[in-house]
Structure 1
Amino acid sequence: MRKTIALLAAAVMATPAAAQPTPGVRMPPEIGAAYGRLGKAMMAHDAAGVRSVWAEDFVVNSPNNEVLGREQVIAVMEQDFLDYKGFRKHITYVGQKPEVTVIMGYDTMVPIKGPGAGKQVMRPFTDVWAKRSQGWQLIARQATIAEAR
């Protein structure tokens, strides 16, 4: 069970302010700000802050091939399984439409707990953002741990 929780935690970690778009890739300011708020909320284990960025119908495809909803992921966060150092988000693609934006890239970090603890991990991701009445919200995420060094 702890391995499942740790793998799930690795799939959903948000970004601190250290998002690094590839040269020529433009991050929409509203989504960049939402990533910043989400990163701070995740690091502080602030469920209300996470809920303000993740849509009520948010889903994540975790590395253990489970599709989980927002409240399931927040429960993992509240169990203190999302601790990393050296976390960076590298943005390689932004596909912006009026109502939906797809962000792709990879995260690098060193997990403090769980699989890969103490080793640098690279995690490719795809995030899907939707424009809702309360602003841009993350509605879906897929992230897979690609390697640990």
Structure 2
Amino acid sequence: MFKKFVLLGAIAFANPALAQLAPGVRMPPEIGAAYGKLGKAMMAHDASAVRDIWAEDFVVNSPNNTVMRREDVIGVMERDFLEYRDFHKHITFIGEKPEVTVVMGYDTMIPLKGPGAGKQVMRPFTDIWAKRSAGWQLIARQATIATVK
């Protein structure tokens, strides 16, 4: 039942300037560009563009405590269940290795549907990006709703 309410939070990266970086944290340009493409694709419900950024083996541990694969989440997006207002992405850590980058932080937003609908939500997240032949792709995401006000 709750699968349709998965919230991903990439929207802030439709304009990477909307992300707030903690002091001393630097966004790698390639990852920032990938987040930008992902945000635009999510807002446009462009499944093909999302597939270019999410690896074929992408998985997310979603805010409703279910693990979903790429096509499950794309189905949610296509059914228009990913809607927010007052969305802000706060990046607190970025760890870079040659083939993997880990991005951690938290999102604040008001979901219009799903868990916490109509209330301000804080959702810590961890994104894992891998350098693949197609470029940097998101391979895993964990996002948990920590507080609802």
- TM-score interval, normalised by the smaller of the two chains: over 0.9
**Does 2:122 match 1:107?**
no
CA positional deviation for 1:135: 0.9
Residues 63 and 137 from structure 1, CA distance in 2 versus in 1: closer, same or farther, beyond 3 angstroms? same
Q: 1:13 aligns with which of 1, 9, 14?
A: 9
TM-score by length of 2: 0.92
TM-score by length of 1: 0.92
What corresponds to 1:92 in structure 2? 92
How does 1:29-108 map onto structure 2 within 5 Å?
Answer: 29-108=29-108
Structure 1 residue ranges (4+ consecutive) displaced by more than 6 angstroms after TM superposition: none
**Quick one: percent identity of the two aligned structures?**
72
Instruction: Give the gaps of 5 or more residues in structure 2.
Output: none
Larger deviation, residues 94-103 vs 36-45: 36-45
CA positional deviation for 1:115: 2.3
Larger deviation, residues 127-136 vs 107-116: 107-116
Contact 1:103/1:127 (<8 A) preserved: yes
Deviation sequence 1:59-108 (CA, Å, 0-9, x none) = 01123332211001101111110000111111000000000000000001
How does 1:121-140 map onto structure 2 within 5 Å?
Answer: 121-140=121-140
Pairs aligned (count): 145
Instruction: Give the gaps of 5 or more residues in structure 1.
Output: none
Q: Distance between the aligned counterparts of 1:122 and 1:64, measured in 2?
A: 14
